[in-house]
């Protein structure tokens, strides 16, 4: 029997992950490197055509950005001012929708991951939580009052400013736009540059982890106080260091100082599949005609 399937496309700056299915139990995925826009998008379209054919009901895309999420705008669904020059002003959602002839859901990669965790992972039933990735960059997807946060552009949680004590941490930060914003101080490449060795090789007792936990706890403190989120799911390569979780919880409790209850801090349940599963969920929402 021809049952409907959905497509999920996690469009990352280094790789694309495509999946078809209806959820975590029947997911069929492929991944390939992100090269030029036309060939990379064509490869994704080929996968959906070949694997799903007429059973494809809709596709969801969680994309690197910045992206345009304003329905009604002439450039809705575009990747806009990305530092990846070849991808500037690329009509990603439009190309996929035109080629496949199905509804397309579109959001940021981290909002997609947040949605995936809400549907199938560690944020089921929650109305207020944040999904954060700490990897090559730092990005956050906010889910507030039961909806994904968008705002004028979309949140850029990695680029908030946090206190930086140059006397204890002279590293100037590595964000090309801001130097020592959160991402500039605490992403994986910032750790590599500050300690002059890969974050993967720093032993669990190294002072690097206490400093990393402090920066992440400062950021979580600020989001806890502005978004009133109940839970923070922390994923990405750097969070593969399990000792970070307790260090962050301790520092967060110290910073909040009993003023409000500290939100929970835990890993995502879907691991590296959060983004592509969330993209699939965006496709399901598009099919049902809902705004993400």
**Residue numbers of the site for ligand ADP (CB under 6 A)?**
12, 14, 133, 135-136, 188-189, 192, 198-200, 236-238, 240-241
CB 247, min distance to ligand ADP, A:
14
* Residue 161 is a binding residue for Zn ion (CB under 5 A): no
CB 114, min distance to Zn ion, A:
21
User: What ranges in the chain are assigned the alpha helix state H?
Assistant: 37-52, 92-100, 109-120, 182-186, 188-195, 207-227, 243-256, 274-287
Cβ–Cβ < 8 Å for 15, 34: yes
Coil/strand/helix, residue 118: helix
Please give the helix or strand (H or E) that residue 5 lies within, else none: strand 5-11
CB 229, min distance to ligand ADP, A:
21
Q: Which residues pair with 232 in a beta bridge?
A: 130, 265
Interface residue with Zn ion, options 181, 252, 265, 274 (CB under 5 A)? 181
CB 289, min distance to ligand ADP, A:
31
Q: And the tokens for 19? A: 């999946």
Query: How many residues sit in the footprint of Zn ion (CB under 5 A)?
Result: 6
- Nearest 5°: CA angle at 140, between 219 and 61? 175
Does residue 278 have a cis peptide bond before it, meaning omega lies within 30 degrees of 0? no
Q: Rounded to an integer, what is the distance from CA 66 to the centroid of its chain?
A: 12
User: What ranges in 199-256 are assigned the alpha helix state H?
Assistant: 207-227, 243-256
Query: Which residues within the stretch 61-120 sit at the binding site for Zn ion (CB under 5 A)?
Result: none
**Choosing among Zn ion, ligand ADP, none, which partner's interface includes residue 188 (Cβ < 5 to 8 Å by kind)?**
ligand ADP
Annotate each residue in 225-264 with x if it binds Zn ion (CB under 5 A) or - if it does not, as one string.
Answer: ----------------------------------------
**Choosing among ligand ADP, Zn ion, none, which partner's interface includes residue 178 (Cβ < 5 to 8 Å by kind)?**
Zn ion
CB 181, min distance to Zn ion, A:
3
Contacts 24+ apart (CB under 8 A), 169-172: 169/194, 169/211
Cβ–Cβ < 8 Å for 179, 173: yes
**Choosing among Zn ion, ligand ADP, none, which partner's interface includes residue 181 (Cβ < 5 to 8 Å by kind)?**
Zn ion
For ligand ADP, which is the closer residue by CB, 12 or 62?
A: 12
Q: Which residue is nearest to ligand ADP (CB)?
A: 188
Residue 39: how many CB atoms within 10 A of its CB? 10
For ligand ADP, which is the closer residue by CB, 66 or 237?
A: 237
CB 232, min distance to ligand ADP, A:
16
Residue 17: how many CB atoms within 10 A of its CB? 21
Cβ–Cβ < 8 Å for 76, 70: yes
| Stretch touching Zn ion by CB under 5 A, among 26-34, 54-62, 86-94, 169-177 | 169-177
For Zn ion, which is the closer residue by CB, 91 or 183?
A: 183
Interface residue with Zn ion, options 110, 175, 227, 270 (CB under 5 A)? 175
Residues that bind Zn ion (CB under 5 A): 159, 175, 177-178, 181, 183
């Amino acid at each position: 029997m021809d049952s409907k399937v959905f497509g999920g496309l996690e469009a990352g700056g280094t790789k694309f992950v495509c999946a078809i299915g209806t959820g975590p139990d029947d997911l069929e995925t492929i991944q390939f490197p992100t090269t030029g826009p036309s060939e990379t998008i064509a490869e994704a379209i080929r996968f959906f055509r070949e694997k799903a054919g007429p059973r494809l009901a809709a596709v969801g895309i969680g994309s690197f950005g910045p992206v345009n999420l304003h329905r009604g705008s002439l450039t809705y669904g575009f990747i806009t001012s990305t530092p990846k020059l070849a991808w500037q002003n690329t009509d990603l959602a439009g190309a996929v929708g035109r080629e496949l002839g199905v509804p397309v859901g579109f959001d940021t990669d981290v909002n997609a991951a947040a949605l995936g965790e809400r549907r199938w992972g560690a944020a089921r039933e929650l109305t207020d939580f944040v999904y954060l990735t700490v990897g090559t960059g730092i990005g956050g997807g906010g889910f507030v009052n039961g909806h994904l946060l968008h705002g004028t552009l979309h949140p850029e949680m990695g680029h908030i400013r946090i206190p930086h004590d140059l006397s204890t941490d002279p590293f100037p930060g590595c964000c090309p736009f801001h130097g020592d914003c959160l991402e500039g101080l605490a992403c994986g490449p910032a750790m590599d540059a500050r300690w002059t060795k890969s974050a993967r090789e720093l032993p669990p007792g190294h002072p690097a982890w206490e400093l990393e936990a402090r920066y992440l706890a400062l950021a979580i403190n600020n989001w806890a106080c502005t978004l009133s989120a109940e839970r923070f799911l922390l994923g990405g390569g750097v969070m593969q260091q399990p000792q970070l979780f307790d260090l962050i919880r301790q520092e967060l409790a110290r910073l909040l100082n009993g003023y409000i209850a500290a939100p929970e801090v835990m890993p995502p349940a879907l691991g590296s599949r959060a983004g592509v599963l969330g993209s699939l969920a965006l496709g399901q929402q598009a099919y049902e005609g809902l705004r993400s």
